[in-house]
Amino acid sequence: MSHHRSTVRWRRREGEAFADGRYSRVHAWRFDGGAEIGASASPDVVPPPFSSAELVDPEEAFVASLSSCHMLWYLSIAAKRGFVVDAYEDDAEGTMARDGRGRMSITRVVLTPRVAYAGLAPDRATEEAMHHEAHERCFIANSVRTEIEVRVP
């Protein structure tokens, strides 16, 4: 078992209203290794100037964490099977909609990993099987109800 920590920090700006909903949603995420990332509500949820499109929003982070987890498992599986990966890129996309309970949630995430290999590359069936295994092993995917699809181009 392992434990993972983060600190989310927000502070109302001096003189900023609050009860009327006119306050900044900009905040910071600090992780146990020391990395700090600027974060905000999504401008799709809270309009600017009370959000910041330049910062990471929780929905983007959710999609990125699924993509990152999948990639890390895929790289591990490829290495164990003797394939040398030179590059991996995924333009992941999440869709927010009402779920079966009528609640807004990220109901679908599509991963579109493109993998470049040095030397011998797996055939399509093997690559798809490796992505399936990566998905089955991904801790984040195993932790959510969101439909997650992996499309191997």
Secondary-structure class of domain 58-150 per CATH: alpha beta
Scanning the structure block, which residue is given the tokens 């009327």? 20
Contact 148, 109 (CB under 8 A): yes
Please state the domain extents for the chain: 1-56, 58-150
**Residue 153 to residue 147: CA distance in whole angstroms:** 19
**Residue 75 to residue 73: CA distance in whole angstroms:** 5
Question: In the chain, what is the greatest distance between 2 CA atoms, to the nearest angstrom?
Answer: 62
Confidence (pTM): 0.92
Look at residue 108 in the predicted model and tell me its pLDDT: 95
**pLDDT tens by residue, 74-133:** 999 999 999 999 999 999 999 999 999 999 999 999 999 999 999 999 999 999 999 999
Asked if domains 1-56 and 58-150 share a fold, the reply is yes
Look at residue 147 in the predicted model and tell me its pLDDT: 85
Fold of 1-56: GMP Synthetase; Chain A, domain 3 (3.30.300)
Scanning the structure block, which residue is given the tokens 């932790």? 143
Look at residue 145 in the predicted model and tell me its pLDDT: 84
Average pLDDT taken over every residue of the chain: 95
